[in-house]
Chains A and B, each alone.
Chain A
């Protein structure tokens, strides 16, 4: 065999397999009329708090399941299960995000046909979860006030893939130089169609609008 260097044409993207699996999940869930929400945020932004607030307001109206993804713990699933809904914990074992295959194995462990809404609480991270489609019908993210209004500039991909943005911890606004209007402008520049909710999981302010949006999305599936 010659030692000459050959150029081999590949022309293949790496996200193709994941995108195909995500599409399959989405198609299957649509058939079952089960809505999957992929909730993303930084660690500490209030993902679990928002999940709990959402469950409390919707559990009489919708059958809800929760898939908690964490690098290595069970604490979130235990907290959520106390709210009286089906909760499973996925330990990603060091992985910084959920991909479609992991979501599929999680869904296999749940009685999806019986559920109207499944909330996937993704790993706390604004980078990697944005790159991997999960098969969710809609993506939502939380940005909490203490994180700062410049995050849309730093993580544009995350803001571009979400259908809804929840600005949480508005009870901190008085103590912070977070400029809600500036933040809105920055987000809308990247994603003009995104729905923005200003809430405080602690005081309950604004949570109702978020819940209403989610309920309408679930019902229109």
Chain B
């Protein structure tokens, strides 16, 4: 091989590496924190219900059936973007949609839901944020799909888009329903 070509090849290799770097950064979110909890049992929890704080609702009430846990808050702008989709599709997901109100003033959260609509089966409020830490929540919105055995099967950070809904979430829900007894 001609030795004069070597620098050119080296340059091409560096170019390819840089190109891959650019491509990679456009096709994955470098800020996304991969959850170690996928495939693990969801934490047990018991939290006050937003609409009636004297009532508690928790993992025991949800045991035995798959559910979708959606972390939201009235202070979260991205949750506003996600909200219309939940309003449209929330009732026909095939699994109950549980709202997880994260570090929010209950009054603000109730007002937010009455203004924009309440797509949730039930909304639980985690004002201190302790259960959220057990779930590895880093912010809102985040969404967890939990199966009938209480195992976290899927987690999505950032608003669910129609593409994510049809491409990822609905197939996973369908798969859960076929494997359920």
Instruction: State whether these chains interact.
Output: no
